[in-house]
Amino acid sequence: METTRSLVIGSGLAGLYFALQAADHGPVLIVTKASPADGSTSVAQGGVAANLGPDDSDESHVADTLRVGVGLCREDIVRLTVANGPRHVRRLIELGVDFARGADGSLDLGREGGHSERRVAHVADLTGQAIQQALLARVSAHPNVRMLANAIAVDLLMSRTPDDERACMGAYILDRATGHIDRVVADHVVLAAGGAGQVYRYTSNPGVSTGDSIAMAYRAGAEIANMEFLQFHPTLLAHPYAKSFLISEALRGEGGELRTANGTAFMKDVHPRGSLAPRDVVARAIDMHLTRSGEESVFLDMTHLDPVEVVERFPGIHRRCLELGIDMREQWIPVVPGAHYVCGGINVDSRGRSSVRNLLAIGENACTGLHGACRLASNSLLEALVFADRAAGILDELTPVKPTTVDPWEPGNAVDSDEAVVIRQNWEEIRGLMWNYVGIVRSDRRLERARRRIELIRAEIREYYWDCLVTPELLELRNIALVAHLIIESARRRTESRGLHYNLDHPGRLPSPRDTIISIDDGPSPG
């Protein structure tokens, strides 16, 4: 059994930025289930949205965020986050992030969908990678931080306070190399393990994004909010060998135009901002066109722009497209929507505290109220910075709850599994039913079909989970099944269309926006 002050699950921007500050006050253990750079931060292309330009203002950034969030943003959280943005961008510069600059030495700010101004600080189209490398270097050099890689959290260690309040005191951690499960006891646990894009068949997310932290928090009794708002990025590269490669929204910010196969710039008739409309609008327009036409993709046209500037601004995307035989200086880029970002997650307050004592959540796995029903582009890295900082600022206020003994992991009568095909089959079935029934466009009938099928799949997984020894693949399957159930249940409870949730049977909006809150006390079974 290991003990630490801060247990951080996840090694992306939120987890690293938190750890760097928390480590000045005590030992920090970061657990990451693959290598430290395998999460979504490393593949983030866009940048950090902040009021940094001469013509910009906090009010403009706030207004853009609220408009895109379609009535569900918490305005106090939006204002708090926007106001702190410039300070954290400057802090990243101090930590070694070399943001792009113009000829005069000022930051070269990009513009993305939904923004009324250029306000996105970036490192070409490799911003996440640059931030990850800078923070990893700092964290690795800190004497109070230890990184445990290739280890996956199984479940949270829970206790009860004298007044019967749920309290978190650590986690069971599976070593992927040995299969051994250890106990880590901590004063507090910080969940920063990212999103859940792998719940869907097509996603921009890396393979590690299986919603583990959201599922663990739900099983521990934490409130989960607004899981129906799963953002589909409009432009994933449509190529059989592209896997999950994203074509950044910044290309449209620099003048890229979305076209159908016959060359029609179709977004001009959909939204006043055309190809730079909010993501929910663009993704839905593409989905509807593909459904009607039977075509496999739409196209992003960059050929009318200066080819030298295009390559200088987007070297990573240009290089990857060339590897697949697409020269975006001369050819249109085939694109399709894909699952990208969870706007809901573990319900937290303005300091990252969940409804479970000593359990904090920051980054994509948290629902702060910033994004509402649809996230404004490049507000995600901003949110991770602001809330990692705010969570680190209250650690001395948290009172640990530690029992005298912690039971070791008990496998019972579980045996090694010789049926890996069961995991693979259930995994593919979940991702398929979520894409077909709980995707960009939904209906009551589709959601009911998804609900019935996911209940059967989860029953199969529960039986398998208790009969067989735990493996990383089984843990991920268990988690994506639960997250799928949470998304379906949240979508069934929202009887309107708002932002990222569009239901054909409820096309209008309710007059009073409300959050969808689910917990084990009234939601699906936690198993």
Q: Which amino acids are annotated catalytic?
A: 279
Q: Strands 181-191, 359-361: parallel, antiparallel or unpaired by DSSP? A: parallel
What letter would DSSP give residue 398? -
Residue 460, exposed/middle/buried by CB under 10 A (0-12, 13-18, 19+)?
A: middle
From the list 269, 189, 186, 266, the residue with the least C-alpha distance to 234 is 266
From the list 171, 136, 193, the residue with the least C-alpha distance to 346 is 193
Element (H, E) at 159: strand 151-160
DSSP code per residue over 242-276: -TT-B--THHHHTT-EEE-TT---GGGGT-TTGGG
**Whole-angstrom distance, CA of residue 496 vs CA of residue 443:** 11
**Residue 86: strand pairing partners:** none
Neighbour-count burial for 97-110, b at 16+ CB within 10 Å, e otherwise: bebbeeeeeebbbb
3-class DSSP state of 323: helix
- Write the CB contacts of 221 (distance below 8 Å, at least 6 apart in sequence): 158, 166, 355, 356, 519, 520, 521
**Residue 334: strand pairing partners:** 299
| Distance linking the first and last C-alpha atoms of the chain | 25
From the list 202, 218, 198, 221, the residue with the least C-alpha distance to 210 is 198
From the list 207, 23, 184, 111, the residue with the least C-alpha distance to 15 is 23
**Whole-angstrom distance, CA of residue 200 vs CA of residue 170:** 30
